[in-house]
Chain A
Amino acid sequence: AQRVTQPEKLLSVFKGAPVELKCNYSYSGSPELFWYVQYSRQRLQLLLRHISRESIKGFTADLNKGETSFHLKKPFAQEEDSAMYYCALTFNAGNMLTFGGGTRLMVKP
């Protein structure tokens, strides 16, 4: 069965510092990976997906199939990046997302 692991429940950094939120997955096939974000008092929303290879709000994520990882990175954290971040995986089976446990990012001024 597929599994997504986010080893850090809480990550605290200072404004302007680099950020890396870790995500590891286990799935024998070729999954599709996503990062979802939930800002305070807002809905869960898509941040980025690996197939798009895009940078959203300065965040990027590279799929490393050898290490089965999909870490989320940003070179300079901003206070408005403080939120709950979820890594998620789906395979060729419709919209069935498997989520990691989430990492709360706190960016201190």
Chain B
Amino acid sequence: KAGVTQTPRYLIKTRGQQVTLSCSPISGHRSVSWYQQTPGQGLQFLFEYFSETQRNKGNFPGRFSGRQFSNSRSEMNVSTLELGDSALYLCASSPMGRGTYEQYFGPGTRLTVT
């Protein structure tokens, strides 16, 4: 099976702009989670979608949002970008919606905000 894919891989935006990142899970996986990785804060959970519904949400401001489509593909959106949003954004998919299942990570999207 093809692994989790994320597009684009690299992105440069300016403060105040908005950005949309895309994630295609492994075929058959219904859960998609998003994480932000920064040198200072490490890996932090953003949100999880399962069957087009947001199941869990991390402690991020409302500028961060996401959605999942009927084919399980997911997008996350960040509005009014700030310099501190520069990070590697990882997407992970899992067959089901519980933590006992392995999460498969994508390569990430590197977002730079200038």
Q: A: which residues have CB within 8 A of B?
A: 32, 43-46, 49, 51, 86, 90-102
The total of Cβ contacts below 8 Å across the A-B interface reads 66
| One of A43, A91, A99 near B43 (C-beta < 8 A) | A99
The 5 sampled A-B contact pairs (Cβ below 8 Å) are: A43-B107, A94-B56, A95-B99, A96-B58, A100-B42
Q: Is B94 an interface residue (CB 8 A)?
A: yes
Measured between C-beta atoms, what is the minimum distance from B103 to chain A in Å? Answer: 6
Kindly list chain A residues whose C-beta atoms are within 8 Å of the C-beta of B97. Answer: 94-95
Is there contact, CB below 8 Å, between B56 and A101?
A: no
Q: Which residues of B contact A95 (CB under 8 A)?
A: 31, 33, 48, 50, 55-56, 92, 94, 97-99, 101, 103
Interface centre among A44, A51, A102 (most CB of B within 10 A): A44
| Complex contacts, A86 vs chain B, CB 8 Å | 43
CB-contacts of B35-57 with A (<8 A): 35, 42-45, 48, 50, 55-56
